[in-house]
Amino acid sequence: MSGPMGVGVIGAGVISDTYLTNLTSFPDLRVLFVADLDTARAAAQAAKFGVPSSGTVAELLATPDIELVVNLTVPSAHVDVGLAALESGKHVWAEKPLAMDRQTGRKLLDRARERGLRVASAPDTVLGAGLQTARRAVDAGTIGTPLSALALFQVPGPEIWHPSPEFLYQPGAGPLLDMGPYYLTTLIQLFGPIRRVTGSGARAQDRRVIASGPKAGTEFPVDVLMIFFRPAGVRARRLRPGRVQLRLQARAAGPVGGHRFSFGTAVLPDPNKFRRQHPPASRDEPEELAAQGQFRRARPGALELARSIRAGVPERASGELATTSWTPCSPWRSPSPPAIP
């Protein structure tokens, strides 16, 4: 097929605003349907973004012009919704995590292969101009030979801003499975496959309180560990709440910017954002590199998948890469594919 790709969005929750803002702005895509268990919410999102149809998941999957399903459901529904989309002959873009466990994730990817379809998944921030510029700088030896990486994500919790955050503290979510893939995918993109993992976990609080929206003041249980995670060979330390950072330390391979130094440091953009700051700090005043790349806005993965399907080339934010990024966050292991080219 040729021309713009028909897209259906399943899940009309908070994250759908970001997705629909971007999906409806690209000429390569035509968003045709928004579906949700709450059909009134789906209708409201469709009206807000000028999408012609809304309704149930079954109605969306029965729409013949939809080639690509964007799956924004809660983690526990990702595989079931993805399999249903594949059985309907549609490609799938999924929010992370791709699956709740290795076995069901593998089932989803294997079924896509059997059907001649594609499954790709967030995180896709590694496609952004900021992290792509950082990758080129590391490859070029701008800070020398990388020796270690430090990834930090320490914030109070999504109950501070999310109006219905309970699912983020249930199995399949939590800070590690919800946020960890952003940082691990970036490290994989920069350095290649993960070879071994060590880690530890603890639960800071057994219950939390929603701070905003119509449920403000509502208390709910925490069913996951609040993980302090450490892949082997990566240094980790605790910082004050609110600190988010990905920092690389390297030994210099030669002069950089006219200066020689024994160690260099690169502070990368937050892998959960599309920010453009990435200064390689080789001296007291860091040099800021201008971000250069194709994608400068959030959530380009579904677009990149659609373009790859039309061009007949592999997508970069693939299901296999997604599996690599969240497998080390769980008590099981799987082989790692190569880094993003």
97: preceding bond cis by omega (within 30 degrees) = yes
CB 53 within 8 A of CB 64: no
CB 109 within 8 A of CB 117: no
What is the radius of gyration, based on Cα positions, of the chain? Answer: 20
DSSP lists the bridge partners of residue 221 as: 207
d(CA 91, CA 248): 36
CB 65 within 8 A of CB 89: no
Q: Tokens 């560990």 correspond to what residue?
A: 225
CB 30 within 8 A of CB 93: no
Q: What is the largest CA-CA distance in the chain?
A: 63
Which of the residues are catalytic? 96
